Structure 1
Amino acid sequence: MKIVLLLLITLAFCPAIAQTSSTDEAAVRASVNQLFEGMKKADSTMIKLIFTPGARLQTVVNKQGEVSVQDDAIGKFISSVGKAKPGALDERLSGMDIKIDGELATAWTPYSFYYNGQQSHCGVNAFTLVKMAGIWKIQNIIDTRRKQGCP
């Protein structure tokens, strides 16, 4: 009898858990999309709001088989977005795979990047987001960039 009661209680709370998860997933997706919308609009204020104070931007670099990780300052990135012409920076995602545990989320986003309408490169972004004061903020972005094999 206790097992049946426990099972019924568990099933009663599953929809609430699923709803929270889908709500968080939509909010993570919105934060990631806000970055790319802000880039396309050249709106540095819009993208500054979605980063944590200690956010990091990194790129995996492979030069003739020598792999390293390049760090770029978030402030410099935000400033460069603000100096671009609206429409010049166009990062197009071909998908978004989101994983969430509590206040931690990841988003895996394959992309093609266009500068002034011309494809520049493609790769994958791996985002780490943290839910702070109820808002999903980007803590880290690490990406790959390649010129060959782009869709």
Structure 2
Amino acid sequence: MKTLLLILACLPAFAQTSSNDEAAVKATVNKLFEGMQKADSTILRPLFTPTARLQTVVNKQGEVAVNDDGIGKFISSIGKAKAGTLDERLASMEVKIDGELATAWTPYVFYRQDQKSHCGVNAFTLVKMSGSWKIQTIIDTRRKDNCPDLPKQ
């Protein structure tokens, strides 16, 4: 009974922190997509931890593998694009947080030069470091079929 009362007493404080942190996690993820649209690597760099990774689940004829790269290659490729040519549109964002660890699940459709390229899901792992949410990993799926049309945001 005492444990239950203690948990119930802590819920309001946890909910407030969680709500503020959820907004901050969403802001970090949305800033990434803003940087992509602007093709601005200077927006992207501070969003990531020094050891951040970009991974893609690949299924070639039933053989599943994970491609894995350091985030620097991704940031460089975004910086070389022309502003406005890369547009990753999110269908939704579901955030889960425990202490300094957060995940964000974001179904997406990717457009290159206003043409639908592919779709899938991003799974972000973020870590709260020095009061800011930083992206540690992005792992995604990519497919060409069954991609919905999403409006420009």
TM-score, normalization by structure 2: 0.91
| Map 1:1-151 → 2, pairs under 5 A | 7=5, 13-151=10-148
* Structure 2 unmatched ranges of 5 or more: 149-153
- For 2:141 and 2:46, the matched residues in 1 are separated by 24
Question: How far 1:16 moved relative to its partner?
Answer: 2.1
Question: How far 1:14 moved relative to its partner?
Answer: 2.9
- For 2:113 and 2:69, the matched residues in 1 are separated by 22
Of 59-68 and 9-18, deviating more is 9-18
SS in 2 for 1:49: helix
Question: How far 1:17 moved relative to its partner?
Answer: 1.7
- For 1:110 and 1:61, the matched residues in 2 are separated by 16
Cα pair distance change 1:87/1:10, threshold 3 Å: same
* Structure 1 unmatched ranges of 5 or more: none
- For 1:15 and 1:39, the matched residues in 2 are separated by 37
SS in 2 for 1:35: helix
Where has structure 1 moved over 6 Å in runs of 4 or more?
Answer: none
Question: How far 1:76 moved relative to its partner?
Answer: 1.1
Q: Which amino acid aligns with 1:38?
A: G
- Contact persistence 2:122–2:138 (CA under 8 A): yes
| Bigger Cα Rg | 1
Describe the superposition over 1:62-86 as per-residue Cα deviations: whole angstroms up to 9, x where unpaired: 0011110001231111011111111
Describe the superposition over 1:26-58 as per-residue Cα deviations: whole angstroms up to 9, x where unpaired: 000000001001000111010111000000000
Q: Percent identity?
A: 74
Q: Which amino acid aligns with 1:16?
A: A
TM-score, normalization by structure 1: 0.92
